Amino acid sequence: MLPLDETDMLLLKILHNNSKLTIKELAAQVNLSPSPVFERIKRLEKEGYIKKYIALLDAEKLNQGFIVFCNVRLKQHDRNIGHKFVEDILSIDEVVECYNVSGDYDFLLKVYARDMKHYQDFVFNRLGSLPSIGSTHSTFVMAEMKNTYGVHVSH
């Protein structure tokens, strides 16, 4: 892997803010011709700096604007139980993020639901059906103040 230079970092920052820009538009912003910009972006993708391109959807408009952070404690710390929990969580659509954390809990889930009733059903029928879960603790989001959807890129 080649080290990232200032132009690579600037391209990452620009793409992080708007991945719909064309190669020509990107090239103009970094003062290069389109061909080297295209090659740089392909290298950044190949080396894993750019994982994928996505469309950010409006959860409110899609009736999924009720956000909950759910702390999960496993019944016991066993490799098989942990792997099974992760496997199960990966198949649950409402869970959009899952982190293995330290402290009082083992995992932190970010969950999108329609409303409290939908979340209650999710806890009882989806999470409650997972045999690996010992306990949960839910924190309900009142308002999202900042979400940059990724990593801070500085150059």
Whether residues 70 and 42 fall in one domain:
no
What was the pLDDT predicted at 8? 96
Among 64, 13, 67, residue whose Cα is nearest residue 41: 13
pLDDT average per 10 residues of sequence, the chain (155 residues): 90 94 97 97 96 93 96 92 94 96 97 97 94 95 90 78
Considering its fold, how many domains does the chain have in total?
2
Q: What sign for the dihedral angle of Cα 36, 42, 47, 49? A: positive
For residue 101, is it within any domain?
A: yes
Residue where the block lists tokens 């408009």: 61
Q: Decide: residue 142, CB within 10 A, 0-12 exposed, 13-18 middle, 19+ buried.
A: exposed
What was the pLDDT predicted at 20? 95
For residue 27, give the H/E element and its range: helix 23-30
What was the pLDDT predicted at 155? 60
CATH number reported for the structural domain that contains residue 29 in this entry = 1.10.10.10
